[in-house]
Amino acid sequence: MSIRYAIPDRILIAVGGNAIHPGTSDGTVDQQLAIAAHTSDCLLPIMLMNKELIITHGNGPVVGKILMRQALARDRIPPMSMDICVAHSQGGIAYILMQACENTLRTHGSRRHVVCLLTQVEVDPADPAFATPTKPVGFFYSEDEARAISNALGWEMCEDAGRGWRYVVPSPVPQHIVDVSLIEAVAKNGAVVIAGGGGGIPVVRNADGTRRGVDAVIDKDLSSALLANVLDVEVMMILTGVPNVCVNFATPAQRDLHHITLAEMKTLHAAGEFATGSMAPKVDAAMRFLTAGGQRAVIAHLDDAEAALRGEAGTQIVLD
């Protein structure tokens, strides 16, 4: 049975990178624009509520294509560091999504603005992830291709589940959203704010207060949870390509989770019910958000965005 919830004054929505560029598409400009238009249509009812709204987004597989271009041009063009690649993908995806959302709003008579803020996210330089890179990014290569690319670009490559070789980078835990007060101020002023794309541009703070980029990627949902907690967001929604979190996935005993407490979700997560690299990071982010002060976390399909916000679709995770 669904529970209908009141709409909070401030909402954070984390949209998967596939909402802009599904891995199954060729990634042409027309395809990306059409997908962004669909995303904005799904978010329109929420944007029209005129609540404070922050949207974060993933950057896969766009950042992978940026890396592929570097691999193909490795004999002619010096490579960019990973933080700059994340910045490129963050700006490009946010531009497409920002334009699509504003166009949809104008079509429905709303003058509400949509703003993209390029977002740096600080990580700890002593994070153990830097000593043991584990996050594969980008395309698959043969062993010979991987060796040549590693020699030319200095990338650390790893074999990925028998499917080929990929570039592997650290994935440190986000510690601080840079200029979060600016995100808050713009949201309070009435604009829809797109921020934190791809988990944020990974940076570390030096002893003198200056920052520098690092070769890493930050989990988008973890950064979204941190941002939501810092902004005192009551409800965080993670929109993806499935309608619910489920247990016993892909077995005859598969069961959708519609309404579950934080304690119950922690038990399932500890039992290994959720696949690493797919649902587990989303569940982990939802639990972190609630543990740090959030009131309700929602994991749902993009197409069900409004219904999920009201509690009528998706997986609703609430405090005990």
Tell me the catalytic residues: 17-18, 135, 220, 282
CA torsion angle 217 221 224 228 (round to 10): -150
Contacts of 228 (CB under 8 A, 6+ apart): 12, 54, 236, 289, 294
Mutual orientation of helices 62-72 and 82-107 as an angle, nearest 10°?
Answer: 140
Phi-psi region of 233 (alpha: psi -120 to 50; beta: other; left: phi over 0): beta
β-partners of residue 15 are 57, 239
Q: Residue 118 corresponds to which amino acid? A: L
β-partners of residue 115 are 193
β-partners of residue 239 are 15, 300
114: part of which helix (H) or strand (E)?
strand 114-117
Structure tokens at 12: 């954070």
Rounded Cα distance between 22 and 31, Å, is: 9
